[in-house]
Structure 1
Amino acid sequence: MSKHLPKFYYQHKWSIGDIVYWNNQATLHYRQAFDPNERRVLKRVSLAGSRPF
């Protein structure tokens, strides 16, 4: 686990069909290393009218 405070830390335990999303304008994110032999699908969604704080 990273050095971040557990109160503000979330680690997802992946299952088939999971979708995880976050607000890039209000969230810092990090990922641990993954197996490069496993398939990963990443998609980006942007919402119209979204403004930074």
Structure 2
Amino acid sequence: MTQFYAMKLRDANKTHMNLQDKVNCLRTSDHSKVTSLQEKMTKLKIENQTLKSKS
């Protein structure tokens, strides 16, 4: 019986580690998207300022 619970605990720990890896991957992806969008916004603000100053 002890072996059964030990096996279940190992499975649960493995699942937990896999889920943590997925969460970290998603966070990294989200962070990259945020950075990219911030850069795009900065470029557009600069472009907008340039256009405003021309008119």
| TM-score range normalised by the length of the shorter chain | under 0.3
Say which structure, 1 or 2, has more relative contact order (CA 8 Å, 6+ apart).
1
Q: Based on CA coordinates, which of the two structures has the bigger radius of gyration?
A: 2
More helix by share: 2
